[in-house]
Amino acid sequence: QWIYLDGSFVTKEEAKVSVYDHGFLYGDGIFEGIRIYGGNIFKCKEHLDRLYDSAKSIMLNIPLSFQEMQDALVETIRRNELRDGYIRLVVSRGPGDLGLDPRRSPKASVIIIVEQLSIYPEEAYINGLKTVSVSSRRNIPDAVNPKIKSLNYLNNILVKIQSNLAGVGEAIMLNSQGYVAEGSSDNIFIVKRGVVFTPPCYIGALEGITRAAIIEICERKGYTLKEEPFTLHDVYVADEVFFTGTAAEVIAVREVDGRTIGEGKAGPITTNLLQEFRSIVT
Ligand code: PDD
């Protein structure tokens, strides 16, 4: 396995960063999770646009141009001879001193790791996941910070711990006002009487690339799609609930906080959207 590290290709054992790297010391940096399907990088431009937007927002200077970054991704995949897998692209603030000040980290570090991926068994896409809502909140301010795909995943880790304790695979995070925001690493959708709903991102959700692909598919398939705030009550009484994300794709939810959703398995619209999604990626 070859890992891209600041312009060189190194082995997994050699791929080490400084203990002074502010990505390590403070979670100061940004990242992307990207899929490779059949040798193609899925939505490469969209992921890189989001990466460069996150960088601009936190005043992080990425030392590669957009084209150079794309070439680095392609070269990393080529070296690893991967046709299907997952890319983790990390840009950290880079090595600095022990203080917070980003001006002391003059050069950002760029890391690209590619790996095989299987997150949920195929059975989960048919039967759906059990999930719970959690007390952790998405990063505030709701309308700003969740849009930055930063390395600061403390709240998401706390959610993961809560969902581990509850024995479930994903959980529902609320925003600071109690509206449903997203999962720990996925966007959320519900279906009620044939209408598909997802929270607008200003509620406190990442502008997910899978989310955008699903919205596009809904438009193409003639499903009514509404970006509207909703609450846990709306989730409990929904006919279908599903999460979307690069790693998870489109995964149904069969139970939320002990309430069975619909028939207690992937509903017809969720199943249809998953099939459509898989047909565009392969
Ligand atoms: N997830 N919300 C959060 C908090 C996320 O971390 C992610 C990405 C998503 C879904 O976004 P997208 O569809 O662009 O992947 C939503 C991980 C890192 C992943 O699935 O790779």
Domain 122-281 in CATH 3.20.10.10? The answer is yes
Quote the pLDDT of residue 38.
95
Quote the pLDDT of residue 254.
98
Q: Choose one of 186, 215, 274 to mutate for the ligand 1 pocket test, by most ligand atoms within 8 angstroms of C-beta.
A: 186
Quote the pLDDT of residue 248.
96
Quote the pLDDT of residue 241.
98
Q: Whose Cα sits closest to atom 6 in ligand 1?
A: 185
Query: What is the predicted ipTM?
Result: 0.98
Cα 189 to ligand 1 centroid, rounded to whole Å: 14
149 is known as an active-site residue: yes
* 150 DSSP 8-state letter: B
200 preceded by cis ω (within 30°)? no
For β-strands 195-198 and 225-227, DSSP reports them as: parallel
- Please state the pTM of the whole predicted model: 0.96
Residue ranges per structural domain of the chain: 2-115, 122-281
Quote the pLDDT of residue 50.
98
In this structure, which CATH number among 3.40.50.300, 3.30.470.10, 3.30.420.40, 3.40.640.10 belongs to the domain 2-115? Answer: 3.30.470.10
Q: Which of 107, 149, 226, 265 is catalytic?
A: 149
| pLDDT tens per residue, range 39-73 | 999 999 999 999 999 999 999 999 999 999 999 99
Quote the pLDDT of residue 136.
80
Which residues of the chain are modeled with pLDDT < 70? none
| Cβ atoms of 208 and 186 closer than 8 Å | yes
DSSP letters, 166-193, are: HT-SEEEEE-TTS-EEEESSSEEEEEET
Quote the pLDDT of residue 137.
81
How many Cα atoms occupy the beta-carbon half-sphere of 226 within 13 Å?
Answer: 11
